[in-house]
Amino acid sequence: MAHDTKATIYLIPIPIADGALQTLSQEVAGYTAQIAHYFVENVRTARRFLRALHPALVIDSLQFSEIDKHTGPDIALLRSWLKEGLTIGIMSEAGCPGIADPGAELVGIAHSMGAKVIPLTGPNSLILALMASGLNGQSFCFTGYIPVKDPMRTKRIKELEATSIREKQTQLFIETPYRNDHLLADLLKHCSGRTRICIAQNITAPDAFIKTKTATEWSKEIPVLGKTPAVFLMLG
């Protein structure tokens, strides 16, 4: 299919752990040296990342559009940049854009306008957690956030466990970091003692915490997870 626009979108991964530039492919540095227009989840994170990669880069010469947490991205600006045939970078706050972050909407519009979309290689906490969990990597499902309040929260935990048992499918989910300990307590309260639960925090950092135990085993020694972002995995 012929492209309607000559624009190219690069999906640029950001290290999960602070400063872990070694987890990125070399192509990330190559492409970011040439891109001047960005949609980003967090401008401060993006500027700090680019400065670390390219100390001599004049950051103020670049254009950033921050994706608003409530109203979403500036779609009109994206369409304008695409029509101009620009090269555009999309950055998550951490990990890969479009995976559990608002970048997917931008990529969908880029496809609808015939732009070229190129994902660059880098760390993704969901895949790394699954790799390290010892749980089923052949069949898995990422569910995002589960409800905060009961009765929906308990119902959802039990549904995920039942699906996991029925399909032999690993269930992955995340929580707002300050509620990590609350979620773990609820999992241990409502899951079968045989259900295996993996907790993966600070992946790729020197102090990464990745452990898989049954609910019964976790209950004997419950860790304090604090406010460090975590991925939770379950296999019933």
Which two structure tokens, joined as six digits, stand for 209? 């915490």
Are 86 and 7 a contacting pair, CB within 8 Å? Answer: yes
- The 10s digit of each residue's pLDDT in 35-74 is 999 999 999 999 999 999 999 999 999 999 999 888 889 9
Looking at the fold, whether 170 and 150 belong to one and the same domain comes out as yes
Q: Work out the burial of residue 81: count CB atoms within 10 Å of its CB; fewer than 13 is exposed, 13-18 middle, 19 or more buried.
A: buried
Average pLDDT of the chain is 94
Domain boundary residue, one of 88, 119, 150 = 119
| Residue 1 belongs to some domain of the structure | no
| Residue 3 belongs to some domain of the structure | no
Q: Is the pLDDT of residue 2 over 60?
A: no
For residue 19, the model assigns a pLDDT of 85
Looking at the fold, whether 195 and 227 belong to one and the same domain comes out as yes
For residue 5, the model assigns a pLDDT of 76
* Res. 108 pLDDT band, cuts 50 70 90: very high
- The 10s digit of each residue's pLDDT in 147-189 is 999 999 999 999 999 999 999 999 999 999 999 999 999 999 9
For residue 18, the model assigns a pLDDT of 86
Are 91 and 40 a contacting pair, CB within 8 Å? Answer: yes
Domain around 96: 8-119
Q: What is the pTM of this model?
A: 0.89
For residue 69, the model assigns a pLDDT of 84
For residue 1, the model assigns a pLDDT of 43
C-alpha 18: how far from chain center: 15
| Average confidence (pLDDT) over 81-99 | 93
Looking at the fold, whether 136 and 180 belong to one and the same domain comes out as yes
Taking alpha carbons only, the member of 104, 97, 64, 58 closest to residue 81 is 64
Q: What is the CATH number of the domain that holds 166?
A: 3.30.950.10
| Residue 40 belongs to some domain of the structure | yes
